[in-house]
Structure 1
């Protein structure tokens, strides 16, 4: 299993430990592969749900009167990123992660 990070919230660590357990060698390889495939199949939807929950939580903080700077300080997310999250802006891939340019013919 992965080493625990003292900076992580206990519940977040439990989720990460559960993911690590899916790949643990205690089960036959075929069963591990099946479970990990299920996780990967669900990952895009799960990622979207987590992003939406984070956006809602930050919006709630703002609705409760907190400034973007205060939200940033309380969550550890940069001021600019807090603003983007509340506005629903998703991160765009960096230029180096896009498809490479076509070679000259």
Structure 2
């Protein structure tokens, strides 16, 4: 599997290890492709759940009396972003040049 990041919490690292294992060459390519497709199909809903759980946790910290600055210091997330998360503001995707099939390397 890949190298572990010593700054990641053990539970987060386990999730990342499982994702890495799905791409392990120990399994046939067809199996890997199927498993990774299933993960990607579920990813949007899982991502939304994670965001909602984070927002809930931050609201709980605020309701327990922490200021937004204290939540920022505790979580390592900027004050402005903490405020946005609690308010339910999601970041817009980064604006960049979209590639078309003709622009992709190897496309004909």
Give the alignment's TM-score, normalised by structure 1.
0.90
Structure in which a larger fraction of residues adopt helix: 1
Shift of 1:93: 2.6
Question: Following TM superposition, where does structure 1 have runs of at least 4 consecutive aligned residues deviating by more than 4 angstroms?
Answer: none
SS at 1:58's partner residue? helix
Alignment deviations for residues 4-31 of structure 1 (CA, whole Å, 9 cap, x no partner): 0000000000000000000001111100
Instruction: State the distance in 1 between where 2:50 and 2:6 align.
Output: 22
Shift of 1:99: 5.2
Across the two proteins, how many residue pairs are aligned to each other?
A: 99
Instruction: State the distance in 1 between where 2:75 and 2:26 align.
Output: 37
Give the alignment's TM-score, normalised by structure 2.
0.87
Instruction: State the distance in 2 between where 1:98 and 1:83 align.
Output: 30
Q: 1:7 maps to which residue?
A: 7
Alignment deviations for residues 14-72 of structure 1 (CA, whole Å, 9 cap, x no partner): 00000000000111110000000000000000000000000000000000000000000
Instruction: State the distance in 1 between where 2:46 and 2:65 align.
Output: 29
Q: 1:97 maps to which residue?
A: 96
Q: 2:74 maps to which residue?
A: 74
Residues 62/98 of structure 1: CA separation in 2 closer, same or farther (3 Å cut): farther
Q: Which runs of 5+ in 2 are unaligned?
A: 100-108
Q: 1:103 maps to which residue?
A: none
Q: 1:42 maps to which residue?
A: 42
Residues 78/29 of structure 1: CA separation in 2 closer, same or farther (3 Å cut): same
